């Protein structure tokens, strides 16, 4: 079973997921064609086009969701990645993975 990714509430940790086709790295043309990425977790959707919490860079989807106010409560969820290009207005169901959203205590400043 694949290890789940961790999202720590109020922390700046990143999750980086490489987009692949049939297990191979995307061609540069495929990378350049991406117009939008969406991440859906626990009933909440983040779009790269409107949120700094999701970015797409050189064939990777990069998530920094810990600081997001709309983050679901602590628990285990499935994260769904949808990728769009100019030809797919409904997007491609690109893949999913498990995420554990956890509290991470810290010292007050």
What is the per-residue pLDDT across 2-39, written as a single tens digit (0 to 9) for each?
689 999 999 999 999 999 998 999 999 999 999 999 99
- Residue 40 tokens read as 């859906």
Ordered alpha helix ranges (H), 8-96:
28-33
Q: Per the domain annotation, does 38 fall within a domain? A: yes
Residue 34: predicted pLDDT: 96
pTM above 0.95, yes or no: no
Per-residue confidence (pLDDT) for residue 9, from 0 to 100: 97
Structural domain that includes position 59: 5-102
Tens digit of each residue's pLDDT (9 = 90 or more) over 40-85 = 999 999 999 999 999 999 999 999 999 999 999 999 999 999 999 9
Residue 109 domain-assigned? no
For the chain, the domain total comes to: 1
Q: Is residue 93 part of a domain?
A: yes
């Amino acid at each position: 079973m694949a290890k789940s990714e961790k999202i720590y509430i109020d922390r700046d940790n990143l999750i980086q997921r490489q987009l692949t086709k049939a297990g191979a790295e995307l061609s540069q043309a495929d990378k350049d064609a991406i117009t939008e990425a969406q991440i859906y977790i626990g009933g909440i959707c983040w779009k790269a086009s409107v949120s700094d919490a999701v970015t797409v860079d050189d064939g990777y989807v990069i998530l920094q969701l810990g600081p997001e106010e709309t983050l679901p409560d602590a628990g285990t969820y499935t994260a769904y990645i949808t990728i769009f290009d100019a030809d797919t207005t409904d997007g491609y169901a690109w893949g999913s993975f498990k995420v554990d959203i956890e509290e991470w205590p810290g010292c007050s400043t």
